[in-house]
Amino acid sequence: MSFLKEIERRRTFGIISHPDAGKTTLTEKLLLFGGAIQEAGAVKNNKIKKGATSDFMEIERQRGISVSTSVLAFIYKDKKINILDTPGHKDFAEDTFRTLTAVDSVIVVIDVAKGVEEQTEKLVAVCRMRKIPILVFINKLDREGKDAFDLMDEVEQKLGLTVTPMSFPIGMGYDFQGIYNIWEKNINLFSSDSRKNIDDVVAISDVQSPELEKIIGQKPADELRENLELLTEVYPPFDRQDYLDGKLQPVFFGSALNNFGVRELLDCFVEIAPSPRPKESETRLVNPTEEKLSGFVFKIHANMDPKHRDRLAFVKIVSGTFERNKPYLHVRQGKNLKFSSPNAFFAEKKEIVDISYPGDIVGLHDTGNFKIGDTLTEGEQMSFKGIPSFSPEHFRYINNADPLKAKQLDKGIDQLMDEGVAQLFTLEMNNRKIIGTVGALQYEVIQYRLEHEYGAKCTYENFPVHKACWVKPTDPKSEEFKEFRRIKQKFLAHDKYKQLVFLADSDFTIQMTQSKFPNVKLFFTSEFD
Ligand code: G4P
């Protein structure tokens, strides 16, 4: 198959949702359709169990299997599908943000009864910022839920999207009869006796046909006709370019658990979802069709066995081909590296691969060369735009609890930060280290891993910070900036890229600081240029 054809057939995407909306179930059903697994329940559950918020061993268990579910690949209708796993737990939102830099599109799963939830809002905001094409799947139609029109309204309001329904439910919950597929112009009947039948599709070329009453009954037929009429008045028709540009979001309805509406979603997805897209580097836009390899690390996974310190760096290929044993430039370190056993992912297995294409993810064994965000090329001095850090929500001093193991502690902290477990800030005034995390759970994970993988012990101490603000003065030499530095010196720190950060104790402080120093700009993410 030609290089261009290989690129064209790839669909690399992520499924995002608020926990419990049905992401795992949908992923599993997609794998079933792709023939990647044979039976439901085969996908290892990498979810952190409910109520396990204080149980960090659960996180270790989850980490143990998450290598195998990091990338789930399969072939469907000759398309190579790569699903990049994103952790649902909110304490790991940062991991999800990073994974979103490696996807070419996303599917957002929404629970029909709960509607748009908090985690979905945050994740979709990031997708919108990056203009990632979004497809919406409204799940659990077999249950009572919100009215379909109200839900689409809510999606538009809360998520800031412009939707176009591709299917529409006929009834809901107890009265749920099936789905009218606007895209394919047919009715997919939900069979209530087995609740498993997925092939009951009736072609209806014209909804005005009296056939409709015969199939679903008079009242539901009238309602469906009315609803479809209303839909065409209220919502714009599907336009693929608008979808690809992030301006229009198709909506599907279904029930992942019952395998209902999933085939329609997948069939439409492989048709309309983008193949690998060009990616902005710091110097230029890189096109997937370029002959020379480029790619970047978006995730690092440490080995679970402390005796083997190697890690797996996940590289998204942006352009060219990645070949086994060929030397590539590690741009940040300025050295050439060869990889004798790059891993590709297929279903839940990983295997050594000779050649990979744009859109694919390769797993590289690493002994400490890589950090998240690193770029590989065939010699060009180029870096992909940084993976942004967001302000953490928790901050604590980290102290060494075993003076004989100071080196181990430093190394451990360094490597865990490279992996992206948390963010490190070093106070300018006294070099004390502060760990910032999205969730409180990470502190236990860090403590546990430092001890078990690096033989170091740590304690924490509270540090009352509300937000980390990245600082950018209009003029670094100005008196105003000097004054800012003098007054705020106790709260100034550096992140791991040596960028200046102001650790503010409240929103009020941030407001006051902004009005007092209007030429010193404060940002809540590290990507502000
Ligand atoms: P997540 O990955 O987004 O967190 O959600 P997950 O797929 O694990 O689904 C969360 C719960 O919702 C599960 O039930 C799952 O069975 C259920 N679910 C998913 N899709 C549907 C659907 O279409 N209809 C209905 N009625 N339920 C659905 P659970 O009881 O929490 O877990 P389990 O014991 O069934 O695994």
Structural domain range at position 477: 394-523
User: Comparing 49-58, 100-109, 236-245, 309-318, which segment has the lowest mean pLDDT?
Assistant: 49-58
Maximum alpha-carbon separation in the chain: 83
Q: Is residue 386 part of a domain?
A: no
Shared-domain flag, residues 306 and 427 = no
Shared-domain flag, residues 267 and 153 = yes
Shared-domain flag, residues 289 and 163 = no
- Could you tell me which residues come within 8 angstroms of residue 347 by beta carbon, excluding any fewer than 6 positions away? 31, 36, 37, 72, 73, 74
Of 462, 436, 440, 407, which Cα lies nearest the Cα of 526?
A: 436
Instruction: For ligand 1, say whether the CB of 526 is within 6 Å of any of its atoms.
Output: no
Q: Is residue 215 part of a domain?
A: no
Q: Name the binding residues.
A: 17-24, 85-89, 139-142
3-state secondary structure labels for all residues of 426-440? EECCCCCEEEEECCC
pLDDT for position 8: 96
Shared-domain flag, residues 292 and 365 = yes
Give residue 272 CA to ligand 1 midpoint distance, Å: 27
DSSP 43: S
pLDDT for position 467: 93
How far from chain centre, in Å, is Cα 194?
Answer: 35
Q: In the structure encoding, which two tokens stand for residue 379, read together? A: 């010699």
Q: Is residue 263 part of a domain?
A: yes
Closest C-alpha residue for ligand 1 atom 15: 22
pLDDT above 70: residue 71: yes
Closest C-alpha residue for ligand 1 atom 19: 22
Q: Give me the DSSP letters along 248-282.
A: -EEEEE-BTTTTBSHHHHHHHHHHHS--SPPEEBS
Select the more confidently predicted residue: 149 or 195: 149
Of 115, 128, 123, which Cα lies nearest the Cα of 95?
A: 123
CATH number (domain holding residue 459):
3.30.70.3280
Closest C-alpha residue for ligand 1 atom 21: 257
pTM for this prediction: 0.85
pLDDT for position 303: 67
Q: What are the pLDDT digits (tens) for 169-198?
A: 998 888 888 888 887 888 888 765 444 445
Q: Is residue 383 part of a domain?
A: no
Sorting pLDDT into bands at 50, 70 and 90, what band is 132? very high
CATH number (domain holding residue 23):
3.40.50.300
Q: Name the binding residues for GTP.
A: 17-24, 85-89, 139-142
Closest C-alpha residue for ligand 1 atom 6: 22
Q: If DSSP codes are grouped into helix, strand and coil, which group holds residue 46?
A: coil
Dist CA 527 CA 296 (whole Å): 17
As beta bridge partners, residue 163 has 249
Shared-domain flag, residues 267 and 289 = no
pLDDT for position 386: 65
Q: How many separate domains does the chain show? A: 3
Q: What are the pLDDT digits (tens) for 472-484?
A: 999 999 999 999 9
- Outline where DSSP puts E strands in 2-77: 10-17, 71-76
Q: Is residue 268 part of a domain?
A: yes
